[in-house]
Structure 1
């Protein structure tokens, strides 16, 4: 049985300090079994040419998709990422990137999620797909 989304922290202030989410400035805005929403500042997450780093988009996508997988798998099973694929559609140079993760498939042993990232103007910047393995024990 999935965990209650209300058990999930509502902001990065509630996440453990010193983790990647905190370093990237990622905030979880809302979480349900149907979708997880979050955002990340562009500032501080740029590549040398002044554009949002593709790896930063990947971190946001995996964070949101993994959170959604955890909502479905925990407490009986523990999700870990198997594959992340990102297609970058548009450059971002300022503001925030917002992501929405939605399930494509949720099974007992795996789940796959689509994560769409958009800029402050609502333009799609990245589409990601994350597949997680649901383990019997924590790693």
Structure 2
């Protein structure tokens, strides 16, 4: 099966998009930043697009060591992220009502990519640590 990953250069580009978008999104959510009119719409759209594309570039770019284990980690991370996403979605749907649910629904737009990036990077860190420990022995 052909590997359709982005070149490794896309990973830092993804981080450059992901981190600032996540920070601006958090500042807007906690009302530290506020905009009005068309500016608000444009900023909100840019935050969502930045998080989504940044996450895509981060997890779908080739790794330093790209082997079968990396593919397995990528797939397992996606599966675990989907499980966590659905559990959180169902729980919040049951527990949150009214206008607060609309706030959660907006947050929910970027929840899966955020979970996927966090899960994948954590698992890759564990793999690299294990790989380095084996090289030292």
TM range (shorter): under 0.3
Length-normalised TM-score, structure 2? 0.27
Length-normalised TM-score, structure 1? 0.26
Larger helix proportion of the pair: 2
Larger strand proportion of the pair: 1
